[in-house]
Protein backbone atom coordinates (compact mmCIF):
# COMPACT_ATOMS: atom_id res chain seq x y z
CA UNK A 1 0.00 0.00 0.00
CA UNK A 2 1.26 3.50 -0.70
CA UNK A 3 0.67 7.14 0.06
CA UNK A 4 2.13 8.93 -2.96
CA UNK A 5 3.40 12.50 -2.69
CA UNK A 6 4.57 14.76 -5.51
CA UNK A 7 6.71 17.53 -4.03
CA UNK A 8 7.34 20.62 -6.22
CA UNK A 9 7.36 18.28 -9.22
CA UNK A 10 8.01 19.56 -12.75
CA UNK A 11 9.41 18.04 -15.91
CA UNK A 12 10.98 19.18 -19.17
CA UNK A 13 12.25 16.92 -21.91
CA UNK A 14 14.84 19.63 -22.71
CA UNK A 15 18.03 19.54 -20.67
CA UNK A 16 18.55 22.71 -18.63
CA UNK A 17 15.18 24.21 -19.59
CA UNK A 18 14.12 27.39 -17.79
CA UNK A 19 11.35 28.77 -20.02
CA UNK A 20 7.91 27.67 -18.67
CA UNK A 21 6.90 26.87 -22.23
CA UNK A 22 9.58 24.15 -22.38
CA UNK A 23 7.99 22.19 -19.51
CA UNK A 24 5.64 19.30 -20.21
CA UNK A 25 4.68 19.43 -16.52
CA UNK A 26 4.48 22.75 -14.69
CA UNK A 27 5.36 22.78 -10.93
CA UNK A 28 2.86 20.86 -8.82
CA UNK A 29 2.55 19.50 -5.30
CA UNK A 30 -0.01 16.74 -4.74
CA UNK A 31 -0.74 13.97 -2.26
CA UNK A 32 -2.47 10.75 -3.26
CA UNK A 33 -3.80 9.07 -0.13
CA UNK A 34 -3.35 5.36 0.43
CA UNK A 35 -6.32 3.41 -0.87
CA UNK A 36 -7.72 6.28 -2.94
CA UNK A 37 -9.28 5.92 -6.40
CA UNK A 38 -7.95 8.77 -8.55
CA UNK A 39 -8.38 9.81 -12.16
CA UNK A 40 -5.99 11.99 -14.15
CA UNK A 41 -8.27 13.71 -16.65
CA UNK A 42 -7.37 15.99 -19.53
CA UNK A 43 -7.03 16.24 -23.31
CA UNK A 44 -4.23 14.63 -25.31
CA UNK A 45 -0.94 16.42 -24.74
CA UNK A 46 -1.85 17.91 -21.35
CA UNK A 47 0.90 15.95 -19.52
CA UNK A 48 -1.10 13.22 -17.80
CA UNK A 49 0.86 10.28 -19.26
CA UNK A 50 4.15 12.06 -18.49
CA UNK A 51 3.00 12.40 -14.88
CA UNK A 52 1.94 8.75 -14.71
CA UNK A 53 5.31 7.62 -16.10
CA UNK A 54 7.11 9.68 -13.44
CA UNK A 55 5.03 8.05 -10.70
CA UNK A 56 5.71 4.59 -12.11
CA UNK A 57 9.47 5.12 -12.52
CA UNK A 58 9.55 4.98 -16.31
CA UNK A 59 10.67 8.62 -16.28
CA UNK A 60 12.90 10.55 -13.85
CA UNK A 61 11.54 14.06 -13.12
CA UNK A 62 13.78 16.98 -14.00
CA UNK A 63 12.61 18.85 -10.87
CA UNK A 64 11.09 17.88 -7.54
CA UNK A 65 10.54 14.57 -5.82
CA UNK A 66 8.23 11.55 -5.78
CA UNK A 67 7.70 9.97 -2.37
CA UNK A 68 6.05 6.65 -1.50
CA UNK A 69 5.06 6.59 2.18
CA UNK A 70 7.60 9.35 2.84
CA UNK A 71 10.45 7.57 1.03
CA UNK A 72 12.06 9.40 -1.92
CA UNK A 73 11.75 7.10 -4.95
CA UNK A 74 12.38 9.73 -7.63
CA UNK A 75 15.40 7.91 -9.03
CA UNK A 76 14.35 4.34 -8.28
CA UNK A 77 13.40 2.03 -11.19
CA UNK A 78 9.86 0.70 -11.61
CA UNK A 79 10.65 -2.70 -10.09
CA UNK A 80 11.81 -1.05 -6.86
CA UNK A 81 8.49 0.77 -6.35
CA UNK A 82 6.16 -2.25 -6.10
CA UNK A 83 3.66 -0.75 -8.50
CA UNK A 84 1.72 -2.33 -11.36
CA UNK A 85 0.84 -0.57 -14.59
CA UNK A 86 -1.97 -1.46 -17.00
CA UNK A 87 -1.61 0.03 -20.49
CA UNK A 88 -3.98 0.85 -23.35
CA UNK A 89 -3.27 -2.45 -25.04
CA UNK A 90 -3.37 -5.72 -23.07
CA UNK A 91 0.05 -7.06 -22.06
CA UNK A 92 -0.39 -10.84 -22.05
CA UNK A 93 1.46 -13.90 -23.27
CA UNK A 94 -0.76 -15.34 -26.00
CA UNK A 95 0.89 -18.78 -25.92
CA UNK A 96 0.22 -19.18 -22.19
CA UNK A 97 -3.04 -20.09 -20.53
CA UNK A 98 -4.87 -17.55 -18.41
CA UNK A 99 -3.63 -19.39 -15.32
CA UNK A 100 -0.02 -19.23 -16.49
CA UNK A 101 -0.33 -15.52 -17.29
CA UNK A 102 -1.59 -14.76 -13.80
CA UNK A 103 0.99 -17.01 -12.14
CA UNK A 104 3.95 -15.58 -14.06
CA UNK A 105 4.56 -12.44 -11.91
CA UNK A 106 4.48 -14.56 -8.75
CA UNK A 107 6.81 -17.27 -10.04
CA UNK A 108 9.13 -14.57 -11.37
CA UNK A 109 9.45 -13.38 -7.74
CA UNK A 110 10.28 -16.84 -6.43
CA UNK A 111 6.85 -17.82 -5.10
CA UNK A 112 5.94 -21.47 -5.60
CA UNK A 113 3.31 -24.17 -5.19
CA UNK A 114 0.14 -23.70 -3.21
CA UNK A 115 0.78 -20.02 -2.49
CA UNK A 116 0.77 -19.25 -6.23
CA UNK A 117 -2.30 -21.39 -6.86
CA UNK A 118 -4.33 -19.79 -4.07
CA UNK A 119 -3.48 -16.26 -5.19
CA UNK A 120 -4.17 -16.96 -8.90
CA UNK A 121 -7.57 -18.47 -8.15
CA UNK A 122 -8.47 -15.64 -5.78
CA UNK A 123 -7.73 -12.97 -8.42
CA UNK A 124 -9.38 -15.01 -11.19
CA UNK A 125 -12.57 -15.17 -9.11
CA UNK A 126 -12.54 -11.39 -8.59
CA UNK A 127 -12.18 -10.84 -12.34
CA UNK A 128 -14.70 -13.52 -13.44
CA UNK A 129 -11.90 -15.47 -15.15
CA UNK A 130 -12.24 -18.76 -13.29
CA UNK A 131 -13.91 -20.51 -16.23
CA UNK A 132 -11.13 -19.32 -18.55
CA UNK A 133 -8.11 -20.37 -16.49
CA UNK A 134 -7.16 -23.30 -18.74
CA UNK A 135 -7.70 -21.48 -22.04
CA UNK A 136 -4.88 -20.03 -24.12
CA UNK A 137 -4.91 -16.24 -24.03
CA UNK A 138 -4.71 -15.94 -27.82
CA UNK A 139 -8.29 -17.14 -28.25
CA UNK A 140 -9.84 -14.63 -25.88
CA UNK A 141 -11.60 -11.32 -26.60
CA UNK A 142 -9.92 -7.94 -26.07
CA UNK A 143 -11.84 -7.30 -22.85
CA UNK A 144 -10.87 -10.72 -21.46
CA UNK A 145 -7.23 -10.03 -22.31
CA UNK A 146 -7.43 -6.68 -20.55
CA UNK A 147 -8.81 -8.49 -17.50
CA UNK A 148 -5.74 -10.75 -17.61
CA UNK A 149 -3.49 -7.70 -17.87
CA UNK A 150 -5.27 -6.21 -14.85
CA UNK A 151 -4.98 -9.52 -13.00
CA UNK A 152 -1.23 -9.65 -13.59
CA UNK A 153 -0.97 -6.41 -11.63
CA UNK A 154 -3.41 -7.40 -8.90
CA UNK A 155 -1.97 -10.85 -8.29
CA UNK A 156 1.14 -9.55 -6.54
CA UNK A 157 0.34 -9.27 -2.82
CA UNK A 158 3.05 -6.61 -2.31
CA UNK A 159 1.76 -4.16 -4.95
CA UNK A 160 1.64 -0.60 -3.57
CA UNK A 161 -0.42 1.04 -6.30
CA UNK A 162 -1.92 0.27 -9.69
CA UNK A 163 -1.62 2.78 -12.51
CA UNK A 164 -3.98 2.62 -15.50
CA UNK A 165 -3.01 4.37 -18.76
CA UNK A 166 -6.30 4.64 -20.72
CA UNK A 167 -6.96 0.90 -20.18
CA UNK A 168 -10.34 0.78 -21.96
CA UNK A 169 -9.22 2.24 -25.31
CA UNK A 170 -9.54 -1.06 -27.18
CA UNK A 171 -12.70 -2.22 -25.38
CA UNK A 172 -16.09 -2.18 -27.11
CA UNK A 173 -18.31 0.63 -25.76
CA UNK A 174 -20.95 -1.75 -24.37
CA UNK A 175 -18.27 -3.54 -22.31
CA UNK A 176 -16.66 -0.39 -20.88
CA UNK A 177 -19.38 0.07 -18.24
CA UNK A 178 -18.93 -3.53 -17.10
CA UNK A 179 -15.15 -3.21 -16.76
CA UNK A 180 -15.36 0.14 -14.98
CA UNK A 181 -17.81 -1.40 -12.52
CA UNK A 182 -15.39 -4.29 -12.06
CA UNK A 183 -12.53 -1.88 -11.33
CA UNK A 184 -14.63 -0.07 -8.73
CA UNK A 185 -15.52 -3.37 -7.07
CA UNK A 186 -11.85 -4.41 -7.04
CA UNK A 187 -10.88 -1.11 -5.48
CA UNK A 188 -13.38 -1.58 -2.68
CA UNK A 189 -12.32 -5.19 -2.13
CA UNK A 190 -8.54 -4.69 -2.17
CA UNK A 191 -8.07 -1.17 -0.74
CA UNK A 192 -5.33 -0.36 -3.27
CA UNK A 193 -4.24 3.07 -4.42
CA UNK A 194 -5.44 3.32 -8.03
CA UNK A 195 -4.62 6.09 -10.51
CA UNK A 196 -6.53 6.04 -13.79
CA UNK A 197 -5.43 8.18 -16.76
CA UNK A 198 -8.06 9.09 -19.35
CA UNK A 199 -9.27 11.86 -21.66
CA UNK A 200 -12.85 10.58 -21.27
CA UNK A 201 -14.79 12.47 -18.60
CA UNK A 202 -17.33 9.65 -18.23
CA UNK A 203 -14.59 7.14 -17.42
CA UNK A 204 -12.97 9.53 -14.94
CA UNK A 205 -16.14 10.58 -13.13
CA UNK A 206 -17.56 7.06 -12.84
CA UNK A 207 -14.30 5.47 -11.67
CA UNK A 208 -12.68 7.99 -9.35
CA UNK A 209 -13.45 9.33 -5.90
CA UNK A 210 -11.06 12.20 -6.66
CA UNK A 211 -10.38 13.63 -10.13
CA UNK A 212 -7.23 15.57 -11.01
CA UNK A 213 -7.95 17.77 -14.04
CA UNK A 214 -4.92 18.76 -16.14
CA UNK A 215 -4.52 21.39 -18.83
CA UNK A 216 -1.35 22.48 -20.62
CA UNK A 217 0.88 20.66 -18.14
CA UNK A 218 -0.83 22.12 -15.08
CA UNK A 219 -3.17 20.72 -12.48
CA UNK A 220 -6.11 23.14 -12.64
CA UNK A 221 -8.42 21.45 -10.12
CA UNK A 222 -8.51 18.48 -7.77
CA UNK A 223 -11.87 17.43 -6.40
CA UNK A 224 -14.80 15.06 -6.22
CA UNK A 225 -16.86 14.69 -9.42
CA UNK A 226 -19.69 16.77 -7.95
CA UNK A 227 -17.27 19.58 -7.02
CA UNK A 228 -15.90 19.73 -10.55
CA UNK A 229 -19.41 20.03 -11.93
CA UNK A 230 -20.86 22.45 -9.40
CA UNK A 231 -17.85 24.72 -8.77
CA UNK A 232 -15.33 24.58 -11.64
CA UNK A 233 -12.18 26.30 -10.38
CA UNK A 234 -11.13 27.17 -13.92
CA UNK A 235 -13.04 27.88 -17.12
CA UNK A 236 -11.24 24.91 -18.70
CA UNK A 237 -12.75 22.58 -16.08
CA UNK A 238 -16.20 23.98 -16.76
CA UNK A 239 -15.75 23.56 -20.50
CA UNK A 240 -14.10 20.11 -20.40
CA UNK A 241 -16.48 18.51 -17.90
CA UNK A 242 -20.14 18.37 -18.81
CA UNK A 243 -22.02 17.59 -22.01
CA UNK A 244 -22.25 20.20 -23.28
CA UNK A 245 -19.70 22.11 -21.26
CA UNK A 246 -20.22 25.29 -19.29
CA UNK A 247 -21.21 28.50 -21.08
CA UNK A 248 -18.41 31.06 -20.69
CA UNK A 249 -19.19 34.68 -21.62
CA UNK A 250 -17.17 37.90 -21.44
CA UNK A 251 -18.59 40.23 -18.82
CA UNK A 252 -18.04 43.42 -16.87
CA UNK A 253 -18.61 42.91 -13.15
CA UNK A 254 -19.08 45.63 -10.57
CA UNK A 255 -20.06 44.55 -7.06
CA UNK A 256 -22.99 42.16 -7.44
CA UNK A 257 -23.93 43.09 -11.00
CA UNK A 258 -22.62 41.73 -14.29
CA UNK A 259 -23.06 43.34 -17.68
CA UNK A 260 -23.21 40.80 -20.50
CA UNK A 261 -23.74 41.76 -24.14
CA UNK A 262 -25.27 45.09 -23.13
CA UNK A 263 -27.68 43.63 -20.55
CA UNK A 264 -27.25 43.67 -16.76
CA UNK A 265 -27.97 40.74 -14.45
CA UNK A 266 -27.77 40.51 -10.67
CA UNK A 267 -25.31 38.14 -9.00
CA UNK A 268 -25.88 36.41 -5.65
CA UNK A 269 -22.53 37.72 -4.32
CA UNK A 270 -20.36 40.82 -4.65
CA UNK A 271 -16.93 40.55 -6.25
CA UNK A 272 -13.70 42.47 -5.92
CA UNK A 273 -12.44 42.48 -9.49
CA UNK A 274 -8.63 42.55 -9.95
CA UNK A 275 -7.35 45.18 -12.35
CA UNK A 276 -6.13 44.17 -15.78
CA UNK A 277 -7.76 40.73 -15.78
CA UNK A 278 -10.01 39.16 -18.40
CA UNK A 279 -13.40 38.81 -16.69
CA UNK A 280 -15.93 36.16 -17.69
CA UNK A 281 -18.99 34.60 -16.20
CA UNK A 282 -19.70 30.88 -16.43
CA UNK A 283 -22.95 28.97 -16.11
CA UNK A 284 -23.80 25.41 -17.05
CA UNK A 285 -26.57 24.79 -19.61
CA UNK A 286 -28.53 22.95 -16.90
CA UNK A 287 -28.99 26.29 -15.11
CA UNK A 288 -29.80 28.41 -18.18
CA UNK A 289 -33.30 28.41 -19.68
CA UNK A 290 -34.80 29.72 -22.90
CA UNK A 291 -37.55 32.28 -22.22
CA UNK A 292 -39.94 34.53 -24.08
CA UNK A 293 -38.70 37.72 -25.78
CA UNK A 294 -38.03 40.53 -23.33
CA UNK A 295 -37.17 38.18 -20.45
CA UNK A 296 -33.53 38.03 -19.41
CA UNK A 297 -30.82 38.35 -22.07
CA UNK A 298 -31.81 38.72 -25.75
CA UNK A 299 -30.76 35.72 -27.86
CA UNK A 300 -31.44 34.18 -31.26
CA UNK A 301 -32.37 30.48 -31.51
CA UNK A 302 -30.02 28.75 -33.94
CA UNK A 303 -30.81 25.09 -33.29
CA UNK A 304 -32.85 22.82 -31.04
CA UNK A 305 -31.41 19.43 -30.11
CA UNK A 306 -33.97 16.84 -29.02
CA UNK A 307 -32.26 14.65 -26.41
CA UNK A 308 -35.29 12.44 -25.73
CA UNK A 309 -35.99 13.35 -22.12
CA UNK A 310 -35.18 17.01 -22.71
CA UNK A 311 -34.39 19.59 -25.37
CA UNK A 312 -31.30 21.75 -25.65
CA UNK A 313 -31.27 25.13 -27.40
CA UNK A 314 -28.20 26.36 -29.24
CA UNK A 315 -28.39 30.12 -29.01
CA UNK A 316 -26.52 33.19 -30.21
CA UNK A 317 -25.96 36.01 -27.74
CA UNK A 318 -24.47 38.62 -30.05
CA UNK A 319 -21.28 36.87 -31.27
CA UNK A 320 -21.28 34.27 -28.47
CA UNK A 321 -22.67 30.71 -28.62
CA UNK A 322 -24.78 29.62 -25.63
CA UNK A 323 -26.50 26.34 -24.73
CA UNK A 324 -29.65 26.28 -22.57
CA UNK A 325 -32.64 24.17 -21.65
CA UNK A 326 -35.93 24.55 -23.51
CA UNK A 327 -39.34 24.63 -21.78
CA UNK A 328 -42.42 23.29 -23.55
CA UNK A 329 -43.92 25.61 -26.13
CA UNK A 330 -40.71 27.51 -26.89
CA UNK A 331 -37.87 27.05 -29.30
CA UNK A 332 -38.55 28.05 -32.90
CA UNK A 333 -35.38 28.19 -34.97
CA UNK A 334 -34.51 31.74 -36.02
CA UNK A 335 -36.70 33.45 -33.46
CA UNK A 336 -35.57 36.12 -31.02
CA UNK A 337 -36.07 34.90 -27.48
CA UNK A 338 -34.91 35.55 -23.93
CA UNK A 339 -32.37 33.71 -21.80
CA UNK A 340 -32.78 33.31 -18.04
CA UNK A 341 -29.70 32.48 -15.94
CA UNK A 342 -30.14 31.09 -12.43
CA UNK A 343 -28.11 33.55 -10.31
CA UNK A 344 -27.04 30.98 -7.71
CA UNK A 345 -25.20 28.98 -10.37
CA UNK A 346 -23.29 31.83 -12.01
CA UNK A 347 -19.51 31.84 -11.48
CA UNK A 348 -17.16 34.76 -12.06
CA UNK A 349 -13.68 34.17 -13.51
CA UNK A 350 -10.58 36.36 -13.84
CA UNK A 351 -8.11 35.13 -16.47
CA UNK A 352 -9.79 31.74 -16.27
CA UNK A 353 -9.57 31.33 -12.46
CA UNK A 354 -12.74 31.30 -10.37
CA UNK A 355 -13.22 34.22 -7.97
CA UNK A 356 -14.77 33.88 -4.52
CA UNK A 357 -17.47 36.45 -3.92
CA UNK A 358 -18.71 38.05 -0.72
CA UNK A 359 -22.20 37.26 0.52
- Phi (first) and psi of residue 252, to 5 degrees: -115, 120
Distance from C-alpha of 106 to C-alpha of 115, rounded to nearest angstrom: 9
Residue 17, classified by CB atoms within 10 Å of its CB into exposed (0-12), middle (13-18) or buried (19+), is middle
Strand partners of residue 7? 65
DSSP code for 251: -
Residue 303 CA to its chain's centroid (Å): 30
Q: Could you tell me which residues come within 8 angstroms of residue 17 by beta carbon, excluding any fewer than 6 positions away?
A: 23, 62
β-bridge pairing 161-165 and 193-198:
parallel
Written as tens digits, the pLDDT of the chain (359 aa) is 578 999 999 999 988 888 888 899 999 999 999 889 999 999 999 999 999 999 999 999 999 999 999 999 999 998 888 888 888 788 899 999 999 999 998 998 888 888 999 999 998 998 889 999 999 999 888 888 888 988 888 888 888 888 988 887 777 777 777 777 778 887 887 778 899 999 999 889 988 999 999 999 999 999 999 999 999 999 999 999 998 999 999 999 999 999 998 888 999 899 999 999 999 999 999 999 999 998 989 999 999 998 888 899 999 999 899 999 999 878 788 889 999 999 999 999 999 999 998 87
Amino acid sequence: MARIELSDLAHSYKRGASDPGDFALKPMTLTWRQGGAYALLGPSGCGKTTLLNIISGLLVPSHGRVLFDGRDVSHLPTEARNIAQVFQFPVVYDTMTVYENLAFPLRNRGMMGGTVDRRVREIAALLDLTEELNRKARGLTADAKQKISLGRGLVRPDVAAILFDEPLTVIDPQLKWELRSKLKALHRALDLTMIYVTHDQTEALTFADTVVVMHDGRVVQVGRPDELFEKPAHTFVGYFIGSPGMNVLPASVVGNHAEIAGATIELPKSYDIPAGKRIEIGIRPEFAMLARPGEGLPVRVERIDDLGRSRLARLRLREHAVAAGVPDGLGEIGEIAGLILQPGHIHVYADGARLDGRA
